Structure 1
Amino acid sequence: MENQTKTNIDWIDTAKGVCILLVVLHHVIITSYALPGVELNSSAAMFEHFHHLVSIYLAPLRMPLFFMISGFLVHRAVTQYRWSDVAQKRIYNLAYLFVLWGALQWLGVTLVNWIGGSEKQLTEVTNALYSSNPAEFIALTLTGSSSLWYLYALPWYFIICKLLSSRWPLAILVLLTGHFIGQTFVHDWPTKSIIANGVFYGLGCFYGRHLFSLLSRISLRSIGLLAVFGLASLSLKLLHWEHFLFTSLLLVGVCVMGFAFTQSIADFKMLRWMGKNTLQIYVLHRIFIEMAGVWLAPALIKAGVFDNSAAVTGWYALYPTVATLGVTALSLFVWRLTHPGPGVFLYTAPDFHVRAARLSALVLKR
């Protein structure tokens, strides 16, 4: 029984490791992949198109699986513990990290662009990361319009689930309604994603234990459930109803089955370790990707590296994978350097209640 439990935990860590790599890959592709002013040959264009398709078609898996696992991991906090026991870790800590790293990322990207002498890489979406002044940064941060929107969404999902924990079907209904509202009526990023992904967190929280247990084994029941998700997804597409709920559940289900099976025959220690340290990668990686886009690519273009057609093809074929692995490794390296001692407060909020209690104890002893 203990070995089975450990295997379940291990595949979850492996899945989280894969998810964070997919998040980094997505940000690499949309941020620092393109080479402005460089003409693409047919091979380079093919690789560029391929990587953009990968980013698009993995969207229904990337964050839904992350949120479902996050919900699964807070089940006891939602259903068994008091608010006072969980508020520090599940609400205050996440809000603290969202604000702290939102500011650090904004300052970092501003510095990177200032040193590089380039304009900020503004995109079609509104992102606090590219704010032009403090007032704009604060306004966008308060609404969750940030590259760290995952940290913004988690406390809200937790609060909803905790408030309705004794009537969990109602919590699922509320989050499911939000999903369809977000998909149908909301078009702004990341508001659309924040509203739409809550249902996966709720399913993970209240039904994840049963769902993951079923899908972690290849059986007629698990295959039948995947078939139901697949048919539901196909039906919505035929009705031209662009909701990714059942597509996400299908992809999540296939991946859970794949991760659990793979973990039973092989142990991917590095992926599991990354899965246990996703926060550090998540908050750090974007700054390094921006550095690559503002410093590395322009420097290579200026040096004439891409005057060679083979170099252009090589960049579009290999850069997303190499950059994803490199940025992830660099993020973990910086974390290892910065987290000891006072640096721990870069990755976890100070527990003022504990500190106050310790201070009171010292005062009383004297």
Structure 2
Amino acid sequence: MKNKQLWINHIKGLCICLVVIYHSVITFYPHLTSLQSGLPEYIAKSWIYLNLYLAPFRMPVFFFISGFLITRYIESVKWRDCVDKRLWNIFYVLLLWGVLQWLGISLINQWLAPELVRNPTSNAAYSETLLQFATSMAKASTSLWYLYALLLYFVVFKSLRRYKVPVIVMLLAVNVIISFVPLPWWGMNSVVRNMCYYGLGAWFGLQLMEWMKTTRFRQHPLICAAIALLSVALYLVNVPVVISVVSIFVILKLFYLLDSWRESRSDAFLNIVGSNTIAIYTTHRIIIEALSLFMIGQIKSGQISDPLLLVVLLVYPFVSLGICTLSGLGFRKLSRALFGDMFFSPPAKLIPAPSSH
């Protein structure tokens, strides 16, 4: 990636960090609210609510960037080459890590919390049979739903690129509707809700990026204030699409200005993380399951003193993020060194051979 584009990679790094923190919170703190009272309960609930409020700022910009980075494939690359270089790679990683997460998380639950009752249809990783696993994966009820979405989005937006404006308007409307009438499957609900952001990046990303770079928002304080108030008001009545779109441009502008002030470095933490989002995304859910169940077990058994418990509750998401990030980066290096990176890209002999015609 050219140095002038590193700031975009930094945004990807921020997004995957927020995803890891999100999963760290939802697998840990809800189990503690009924066990603890007083300050520990307050801290646990604070993390849960903070996690909810971060939702409009996490996945929308992630999908916008994901769409923006494949604009060339959407607009000009032939379908055959897209299947070989884009769709097959993502499908391979989705299927492989769907199975690995299922096996890994099932073993971890049996080992650390055999008494814990899981809903086998809530997540493919908790499936009890192969049919349940296949059904959950088909409904995007998997922690890997982001990869599922990338596959679906690419096909949709490449197929419908002649109808950009009406399709985007329809998807923005669907985003609003689904806030009040959600789909029965949480994974598919997330896939449909975030489709408009990917489309904005894939179809209009170049124009919107240029507009973001040249617009001086502080020259229009009243307009900016009005948009900010409107977006917050709509968010409070369960219409987050406006604040999500606004957050995309605020985050893009912030990172662009930071890059203009101090040029982004290739060895910066966010750039390294942003360059390995798939490795961290696929591995972190297994690690988080083990961490959360181990810590919950320690807390339940009284192995952690009250002062130490407060420290754990305050910093757990950040410690989890550090462990998951280092583990993901380490496993990616191991995959490359020992297995030809087969855990994150299809082995050469499995890649469909291009047609000779």
- Shorter chain as denominator, the TM-score bin is 0.7 to 0.9
Kindly provide the CA deviation profile for residues 176-223 of structure 1, in whole angstroms up to 9, marking residues without a partner as x.
344234323224312211111000000011111222233245604885
| Corresponding residue of 1:275 | 274
| Corresponding residue of 1:161 | 157
Deviates more, 1:326-335 or 1:61-70: 326-335
Q: Do residues 215 (structure 1) and 208 (structure 2) align? A: no
**Is the 1:79–1:166 Cα contact (8 Å) retained in structure 2?**
no
What TM-score comes out, normalization by structure 2 length?
0.88
Equivalent residue runs for 1:243-262 within 5 Å = 243-262=239-258
Deviates more, 1:152-161 or 1:38-47: 38-47
Q: Do residues 51 (structure 1) and 51 (structure 2) align? A: no
Kindly provide the CA deviation profile for residues 283-315 of structure 1, in whole angstroms up to 9, marking residues without a partner as x.
00000001112234314543x333x22112111
| Corresponding residue of 1:18 | 14
**Is the 1:229–1:249 Cα contact (8 Å) retained in structure 2?**
no
Deviates more, 1:286-295 or 1:29-38: 29-38
Kindly provide the CA deviation profile for residues 21-64 of structure 1, in whole angstroms up to 9, marking residues without a partner as x.
00000000000345659853533233223222221111011111
Deviates more, 1:183-192 or 1:194-203: 183-192
What TM-score comes out, normalization by structure 1 length?
0.86
Q: Give the Cα–Cα distance (whole angstroms) in 1 for the partners of residues 29 and 35 of structure 2.
A: 14
| Corresponding residue of 1:233 | 231
Change (3 A) 1:177 1:350: farther
**Is the 2:40–2:310 Cα contact (8 Å) retained in structure 1?**
yes
Q: Do residues 291 (structure 1) and 287 (structure 2) align? A: no
> What is the Cα deviation at residue 87 of structure 1?
1.6
Change (3 A) 1:321 1:125: farther
Change (3 A) 1:323 1:223: farther
SS at match of 2:342: helix
Q: Give the Cα–Cα distance (whole angstroms) in 2 for the partners of residues 103 and 353 of structure 1.
A: 18
Q: Give the Cα–Cα distance (whole angstroms) in 2 for the partners of residues 154 and 116 of structure 1.
A: 33
Deviates more, 1:337-346 or 1:23-32: 337-346
| Corresponding residue of 2:310 | 313
Change (3 A) 1:36 1:177: closer
Deviates more, 1:109-118 or 1:193-202: 109-118
Q: Do residues 98 (structure 1) and 97 (structure 2) align? A: no
Deviates more, 1:168-177 or 1:269-278: 168-177
Q: Do residues 193 (structure 1) and 190 (structure 2) align? A: yes
| Corresponding residue of 1:184 | 180
Change (3 A) 1:70 1:355: closer
Match for 2:333: what amino acid?
R
Q: Give the Cα–Cα distance (whole angstroms) in 2 for the partners of residues 121 and 91 of structure 1.
A: 36
Q: Give the Cα–Cα distance (whole angstroms) in 1 for the partners of residues 194 and 183 of structure 2.
A: 14
User: Gaps (5+ residues) in structure 2?
Assistant: none
Change (3 A) 1:208 1:305: same
Match for 2:261: what amino acid?
I
Q: Give the Cα–Cα distance (whole angstroms) in 1 for the partners of residues 136 and 116 of structure 2.
A: 16
**Is the 2:75–2:161 Cα contact (8 Å) retained in structure 1?**
yes
Segments ≥4 residues shifted beyond 4 Å: 34-39, 221-229, 351-358
Deviates more, 1:195-204 or 1:332-341: 332-341
Deviates more, 1:181-190 or 1:106-115: 181-190
RMSD: 2.9
| Corresponding residue of 1:85 | 81
| Corresponding residue of 1:110 | 106
Aligned residues: 351
**Is the 2:172–2:241 Cα contact (8 Å) retained in structure 1?**
no
User: Gaps (5+ residues) in structure 1?
Assistant: 361-366
Match for 1:305: what amino acid?
Q
Change (3 A) 1:117 1:124: closer
> What is the Cα deviation at residue 141 of structure 1?
0.7
| Corresponding residue of 1:175 | 171
Change (3 A) 1:72 1:356: closer
Identity over the aligned pairs, expressed in percent?
31
